[in-house]
Chains A and B, each alone.
Chain A
């Protein structure tokens, strides 16, 4: 089954404790992206990747890191989480740049930073 898998789905952590949210897709997609969803705001892009070893900042990259060592995986790293990073996070992928091709989303990771 074609899917984007995120882990963990739910996480409560404390300020400053490094964490990684994993994202994996099994569709051989080149494009992958991370979004955060906050109340009253649309999905905002954090980072994206056009292919292996090619990543770039989105609209809200501060406090986050990503890597793309393999085509299927695109982990999101919070080196020193802060309460303003409490949010719902989505990983998404598409075959290429999502112009005429749709995005496929993971099920979301709800992160709370105390």
Chain B
């Protein structure tokens, strides 16, 4: 079973500040890494799906990088806004598990 760790578990950031958090996963037998954003009382929504080492994806103020050799991905949010408050979930897909394995998430709160 894949061991997926996200850090920190929770984060409070002042509006306008930039922030980042980490997803760590076993680097062997890697296929893909998913990032989802989950707002309270809503359903998780996909942000990025990444497959290649060195991949970098961007959606507005949010971007993500992937290092498959060392087994980690960073999610960056530039100029945080209150609407960025959510739990951010990462989920690698590995050949061993043959499914997405979700981390516990990083709960981000933006203070106005």
Partner-B contacts on A (CB < 8 A): 4, 33, 35, 40-45, 48, 58-59, 90, 97-108
Question: Are A101 and B43 CB-contacts (below 8 A) given A40-B104, A42-B102, A42-B105?
Answer: no
Given A90-B43, A98-B93, also A103-B100 (CB < 8 A): yes
- Among the stretches B44-52, B66-74, B76-84, the one at the interface with A is B44-52
Q: Is the interface of B mostly helix, strand, loop or mixed?
A: loop
Do B89 and A105 have beta carbons less than 8 Å apart? no
Contacts of B49 in A (CB 8 A): 100-102
Chain B interface, number of residues (Cβ within 8 angstroms)? 24
Query: B43–A108 contact, CB under 8 A?
Result: yes
From DSSP, what is the main secondary structure of chain A's interface residues?
loop
Task: Provide the bound-state CA to CA distance between A67 and B61, in Å.
Answer: 41
Shortest CB-to-CB span from B55 to chain A, Å, is 12
Q: A90-B44, A99-B32 are in contact. Are A43 and B99 (CB under 8 A)?
A: no
B104 near A42 (CB under 8 angstroms)?
Answer: yes
Q: Which residue of B lies closest to A48 (CB)?
A: B99
CB distance from B5 to the nearest CB of A (A): 10
